[in-house]
Structure 1
Amino acid sequence: MPFITTVITGATSGIGRETALALAKKDHAIYMLVRNLEKGEEVKNEIISASKNKNIYVVECDLANLESVRNAADVLRSSLLGINILINNAGGIFGTREESADGHEMTFAVNHLGHFLLVQCLMPLLERGQARIINVSSEAHRYTDVKFNDLEWRSRPYSPWKAYGNAKLFNIYFTRSLATKYGTKGISSFALHPGLVNTSFGVGISGFGKFLLWLARPFMINAETGALTTIYLATAQRIDSKSGQYFKDSRPVNPSAKAVDEKGRQQLWDISMEMVGTHLV
């Protein structure tokens, strides 16, 4: 029987699917949090067939809907004694400004806020499992336009690339906050850049951004290669001393200067807690 319990978002395609498959082959019990249950069941069966590991489970979770996130956490809390690995992998970029079910800008909601709430709701299980929390960020965190009085692009022209860069910066802020706030409780956290991966990422982008993606396509890596750093962080031994750090090609690297801004990190935490507060009761 598997003795490592791993929860992962965004596991129905791309690097999330490759990560789930690789960890299933290492006998992890995998809990896939998915928006589309039909697709989730299909991928679950594919992973079971390829890994010979029957301990693969699907839980409905729409990160753009905070009630759905809370419900998914409730399902896990009623099913599990602890979580050893949580991989916040799901993400996306949106070509135009859209809003989530809760009225939040979609890039912010899917890449950051949904995962933020998920971690808060799962904290008892994460503490019990002495968990590693792995946040899939990006080198896009170096290209940002963060305004804490307008995180959701309500009063300025929307930029999909800068909104995405902001969200990936927030993944690193979140990682560092978790390491600071929960390290003494046995929890470690890591952020990573998976590489420029040839997946369906950016499918909704148009104009010059779409042209740039087209130019980059020949230089992109496949999803299996893109998953390697996540897999490393989920399986490597004796890396807890590197908690809070940002990884690329399976080794720690320095993020941007903005990513280590303590004031910004705490501002994001406080704003996020206020946004999800009613779902924590």
Structure 2
Amino acid sequence: MTQKSGMGSMRTHNDDTEPASLPSQTVIVTGGNSGLGYGCASALLLASPSWHVIIACRDPGRAQKAVEKLRDSARPGSRVETMELDLASLASVRSFAAKLKDRLKAGELPPLHGLVCNAAVQGARTFTADGFESTFGVSHLGHYLLVNLMLPLMEKPARIAVVASGVHDPAELAKVPASIGVPVPAWNTPKALARGELGPEAANDNAAADRGRRYSTTKLANVYFTYALERRLPEGITVNAFDPGLMPGTGLAREYPAVLRFAWHSILPRVIPLLRLVLLKNIHRAEESGKALARLIVDPALVSTNGKYFEGLREIPSSVESYDKDRAEELWRDSATLTGIEPLP
């Protein structure tokens, strides 16, 4: 059976009968068309029929293919659709927010109760439509603007999850073989990072090290953002950061050398249990990490958990560096300037 709702038809997955009730809450997953985001969206749709999941993605074609697959496995009554969102364009973020606001106001969507900030890029140095270095621009600035525009639209209780990574923490990187090659963060002022200028630790980086260090530095920004946001949220809305661990087979290796890409996509996903024994415990399939990420949105036990950092299912401390409140506050203020919004006090 098919029903129309805003962006197109949505099957209710109940074979011959309508579900007892329609979804009562909306959750947005950025980059939910593949990898971790897809795993999270799938887990949300299986968790409860109350969820209407929006896959926010820059490529409508890829997103729609993911939606069709998700619908086939979703729990009866839950719904999933796609809306276009390019985090490399502040204009696209604003357009997405305006369309979502209109649809919520018109009653086309259930109230907004969840937001998963998952999308990220890691690759050769490029710049966004607004002139920001892409790793920092997409993973941090795009999400910063999105969250600030979504907050007035959210109904309490609401939860936000920010995907960070253990690579932000030098102590965690020390456990990873050097062959994986992710250098520790090289923090700089936020405005310099937006221009693509890393701190002095990056002075002698080659192209591969530069790619990895911009990624680890931006993941540190994600943790700073989480902690600064927690200090500003009204009661009833929470935010937590999430480390999914190493996930062989996902798209982050798309610009690795050919041999490493082959190993990442074709060999390592097959031997994850062995890798946990001999290499690193924090290695998971995207489905496993996606389920752990979805837990931050749906688990009743976490309803009051706020401003914390999770490695999979475990709440752990983030890096020593990540608790620098002055840096976090500077990042918050400068991000408001860079994205052209009034900063929350």
Residue number in structure 1 paired with 2:93: 69
Distance across 1 between alignment mates of 2:342 and 2:138: 16
Residue number in structure 2 paired with 1:187: 237
Within 5 A, what are the aligned runs for 1:1-281? 1-25=22-46, 26-27=48-49, 28-51=51-74, 52-53=76-77, 55-80=79-104, 82-94=111-123, 96-126=124-154, 128-142=155-169, 143-148=184-189, 150-151=192-193, 152-154=195-197, 159-182=210-233, 184-198=234-248, 199-206=250-257, 218=271, 219=275, 220-277=283-340
Displacement after TM superposition at 1:6 (Å): 0.7
Amino acid at match of 2:228: S
- Paired residue secondary structure (1:130): strand
Query: 1:130–1:186: 8 Å Cα contact kept in structure 2?
Result: yes
Per mean C-alpha deviation after superposition, the further-off stretch among 103-112 and 72-81 is 72-81
Distance across 1 between alignment mates of 2:32 and 2:299: 20
Deviations 1:184-225 (A, max 9, x none): 342100001011112121211349987996997653421111
Displacement after TM superposition at 1:160 (Å): 1.2
Amino acid at match of 1:153: G
- Paired residue secondary structure (1:165): helix
Deviations 1:156-177 (A, max 9, x none): 6671111111111111111111
- Paired residue secondary structure (2:162): strand
Deviations 1:209-242 (A, max 9, x none): 8799699765342111121321211111142443
- Paired residue secondary structure (1:227): helix
Query: 1:11–1:17: 8 Å Cα contact kept in structure 2?
Result: yes
TM-score computed with the length of structure 1 as normaliser: 0.90
Query: 2:244–2:312: 8 Å Cα contact kept in structure 1?
Result: yes
- Paired residue secondary structure (1:63): coil
Work out which of the two has the higher radius of gyration on C-alpha atoms and give 1 or 2. 2
Residues matched between the structures, number = 277
Counting aligned pairs with the same residue, the percent is: 29
What runs of 5+ residues in structure 1 fail to find an aligned partner?
none
Amino acid at match of 2:55: M
Residue number in structure 1 paired with 2:13: none
TM-score computed with the length of structure 2 as normaliser: 0.74
Deviations 1:16-70 (A, max 9, x none): 1111112112221001101111111111121112114462121100011110111
Distance across 1 between alignment mates of 2:332 and 2:96: 22
Query: 1:229–1:247: 8 Å Cα contact kept in structure 2?
Result: no
What runs of 5+ residues in structure 2 fail to find an aligned partner?
1-21, 106-110, 170-183, 276-282
Distance across 2 between alignment mates of 1:114 and 1:258: 23
Change (3 A) 1:181 1:68: same
Deviations 1:82-114 (A, max 9, x none): 3111000111211x2100111000000111111
- Paired residue secondary structure (1:100): coil
Distance across 2 between alignment mates of 1:14 and 1:222: 9
Query: 1:15–1:223: 8 Å Cα contact kept in structure 2?
Result: yes
